[in-house]
Structures are given as structure tokens and as C-alpha cells.
Amino acid sequence: MFTHDIMKKLNKTFITPMKPIHGFAAETSTATVKEFASRIVLLLSTTYVISSTIMGVGASKMLSAVRCGIGWSIVLAWMFMCAILSWITIYLVSLYD
């Protein structure tokens, strides 16, 4: 799966080494968030969700283990993507009206 690759990369870049139980917690949290989001028809990027849960696991071990700059760049990328996709949606809807 792709989430395994994401976990390996994030583990090496900004979190203290994780044990298997931490990976299990991150994967379970990601699955739970994605499940609830799909039930209310909310589209979420798996990459952003797994990144957030890995940061949460790192923060639970030690708050200084997480580099906040990476977290902010994830949030900014998510906001930027939402804005761009909103404009694309508005444009495509206007084509069919």
C-alpha cells in the first residue's frame, strides 16, 4: 500500500523512530478518520490524513519530536488544494449550465 511508503518516509524525516505499535496506531487512526469522512461524504486525501496521524503519534511520544514547519506546510497545501479544486469545480459547473 502507499500508506506504508508514506509512513517510512515520514518516520525518517521528522519523527523519532516509531515502533510497530505506533505504526498500528497511525494506520488505525487513518482508517477511522477516512471511514467517518466517507460516511458524511467528505473527501480527504489519504496522504494528508496519514501524515497528520503520524505527527500525532510523534507528538504523543514527545512534542518536540515533530517539526511544526512540516505540519504547517501540509495545512497550507491542503488549503491551497481546496481553493484550486473549488475554482475548477465552479468552472466545470458553469460549462454545463
Q: Where are the domains of the chain?
A: 2-96
Using alpha carbons, select from 3, 75, 70 the residue that is nearest to residue 34. 3
pLDDT of residue 16: 59
Over residues 40-64, the pLDDT tens digits come to 988 787 877 887 888 888 777 777 6
User: For the whole model, what pTM was predicted?
Assistant: 0.61
DSSP label at 40?
T
pLDDT of residue 3: 59
pLDDT of residue 78: 76
Instruction: Give me the count of residues in the chain.
Output: 97
Over residues 4-36, the pLDDT tens digits come to 666 666 666 655 567 788 888 888 999 999 999
Using alpha carbons, select from 93, 97, 10 the residue that is nearest to residue 59. 10
Within 10 A of 74 (CB to CB), how many other CB atoms are there? 16
CA distance 72 to 95: 35
